Amino acid sequence: MPAEARFEHFVHGADIGIRGIGPTLEEAFAQAARALTAVMVDPATLQPRQTVEVACSAPDRETLLVDFLNALLFETATRHMLFGRFDVRIEGDRLEARASGEPIDAARHEPAVEVKGATMTELAVRPLPEGGWLAQCVVDV
């Protein structure tokens, strides 16, 4: 049976590991994006008030994950928004995603930490033996 969609965090020194698991590669990437948001705030508190389009391409799935997460961090920083819902499409070396969320409200969202970037540390994108996909890396906080 394919893996159920979920995200996790794992300890990595002074930084934080994020992991997305899903029945499809796209869902694993979406869950990794939720894990990224969950480092900062509880994604369940976010309303899908605005949607931002994100696109990137990379020579392999691992680099595509890092590029995607860093593109989301760029959107977070420049738009002063947090994202909690993700619709990801991957074809070959290209990713297109819709990230939905809302402007940051420090009093309501109570951001815990600032994520500076996704890294190549502990980077893995692979099928799981029981079915489904895993997408993970460490983020610099």
- Side-chain-facing half-sphere of 136: CA atoms under 13 Å: 20
* Lookup: tokens for 108: 């309501």
> Helices H, strands E: what count in the chain?
3, 8
Whether the predicted model's global pTM rises above the 0.85 cut: yes
Q: Does the structure show a pLDDT above 90 at 11?
A: no
Domains, the chain, ordered by start: 6-140 (3.55.10.10)
Q: Does the structure show a pLDDT above 90 at 35?
A: yes
Please choose, from the candidates 101, 100, 95, 45, the residue with its C-alpha nearest in 3D space to the C-alpha of residue 70: 95
Q: How confident is the model at residue 23 (pLDDT cuts 50, 70, 90)?
A: very high
Q: Give residue 2's pLDDT.
A: 67
Q: DSSP strand E in 31-132: where?
A: 50-57, 81-91, 94-103, 117-118, 124-127
When pLDDT is averaged across residues 82-111 and rounded to a whole number, the result is 95
Contact between 65 and 123 under an 8 Å Cβ cutoff? The reply is yes
Q: Does the structure show a pLDDT above 90 at 89?
A: yes
